[in-house]
Structure 1
Amino acid sequence: MSNTKNTSESQGSQQSSQKSSQTSQASRSSQKSETSQESREPRRPKPMEVLREARTQLAELTGMTAESVSSFEQTEEGWALEIEVLELERVPDTMSLMASYQVELDSDGQLTGYRRVRRYERGRSDARGR
């Protein structure tokens, strides 16, 4: 009878170990589903990612080289930048034509619009009033 008793105890022990194993598996799967739900939410791009992406997108759309970003701010709709581009290369370099473009991006960093706001020679500074 002691064998029967040991067998019953070992079966009970196996059942409780199976239950704890199932519980821990359920816990792990719920953690995975929470993590996957968090990863499904869109990640906001970092400011440097927005700057790089804006320069790349503007250069691709206009065919002109983006040289620098002179203004950068986050807005309610996304981002607003002013990007300086080389419009016409001349010799000497100080006579090259530059332009400032106002660029707007959505909150994901995708370009939604742009327009040229100023055109100038590289070697010229702004007028005093500006």
Structure 2
Amino acid sequence: MSNTNNTSESQGSQQSSQNSQGSHKAQKSQKSQEDSQDSRESRRPRPMEVLREARAQLADLTGMTAETVSSFEQTEEGWSLEVEVLELERVPDTMSLMASYQVELDSEGQLMGYRRVRRYERGRADSRGGR
């Protein structure tokens, strides 16, 4: 009879201990998630990271080589870039068709959208003033 009481008491003690450990693990996990979220929110990507990632994402989406970034600025929503892309390679190279793409990224550097804003031959001077 005393064995039965001991067993139920020890089971109750073990359950209490397990509940305490589970609660402690849940608190640690929640704290870890909060810390991770805080570090993501406080760490904006560096400009060079954004440039590299934008070029890579645009190349993946369009299948075209992103050659240069001619405009780059931080906006309230994230980042805005103008990327020069090789659209059609020709011989001689000065006859290749190039295009400028306006690329919008969110604050974490993920591509949100893009559009072609102009197309031109590589060897041609731009007649539109400052661009």
Whether TM-score is above 0.5 comes out as yes
Counterpart in the other structure of 2:65: 65
CA deviations on 1:109-130 (whole Å, 9 max, x unpaired) are 0000000001000001111534
Question: Which amino acid is the alignment partner of residue 78 of structure 1?
Answer: G
Secondary structure, counterpart of 2:54 in structure 1: helix
**In 1, Cα distance between the equivalents of 2:128 and 2:60?**
33
Task: Provide the TM-score with structure 2 as the length reference.
Answer: 0.69
* Segments ≥4 residues shifted beyond 6 Å: none
- Give 3-state SS (helix, strand or coil) of 1:48's partner: helix
Aligned length: 98
Query: Alpha-carbon deviation of 1:85?
Result: 0.3
Identify the residue that residue 76 of structure 2 maps to in structure 1.
76
* Residues 1:48 and 2:48 are matched in the alignment: yes
Unaligned residue ranges in structure 2 (runs of 5+): 1-27
1:115 paired with 2:110, answer no
Q: Partner of 1:105: helix, strand, or coil?
A: strand
Looking at structure 2, the residues matched to 45 and 90 of structure 1 have their Cα atoms a distance apart, in angstroms, of: 36
Partner of 2:36: 39
Q: TM-score, normalised by structure 1?
A: 0.70
Q: Which runs of 5+ in 1 are unaligned?
A: 1-29
- The RMSD of aligned alpha carbons is 1.7
* SS of match in other structure, 2:99: strand
